[in-house]
Amino acid sequence: MNLTVTNENITVRVQEFLPVAVFVFFLSYVAFEAIHLIHSPGWEWKRTAKGCLEALAFVVLSMPFVAGVYFLASHFGERFNLDTREEAVVGRYLSMIVVIPLLIIWNGRRWKRMSKAKSPEHTPSP
């Protein structure tokens, strides 16, 4: 088992990871906007900016998990003698297995917070 890290190896891993990171950013941003459009009417630029920042925060926080998954896929590729395409597919599936539950948890807490704020017991009476 060869786990040596070279500059070429890291460059290849980063190139494989960047499309996933952009997809995760897009997915988390769309989920943020969808939740807000359900709970509040209309579009606001401040909310869009906040959604972009929250999506960026999600990407930054999920990066170690997804990077770890790609290194795990690389290890699987070496262990089971997979070619590059098979290794990429394994990495993609493993990253989705990690990212989707993280996204559900991330947006679930926001949904719960917004539902609580909208409920009649939390609205101030006149």
pLDDT in tens for each of the 126 residues of the chain?
455 555 566 666 666 667 777 777 787 778 777 777 777 777 777 877 787 787 788 878 887 887 788 788 888 888 999 888 888 888 888 888 888 888 888 878 877 877 776 666 555 555
User: In the chain, what is the straight-line distance between the N-terminal and C-terminal CA atoms, in Å?
Assistant: 69
Instruction: Give the residue extent of every domain in the chain.
Output: 7-115
pTM for the structure as a whole: 0.60
Neighbouring residues of 110: CB distance < 8 A, sequence distance ≥ 6: 32, 35, 54
What residue type is 42 in one-letter code?
A: G
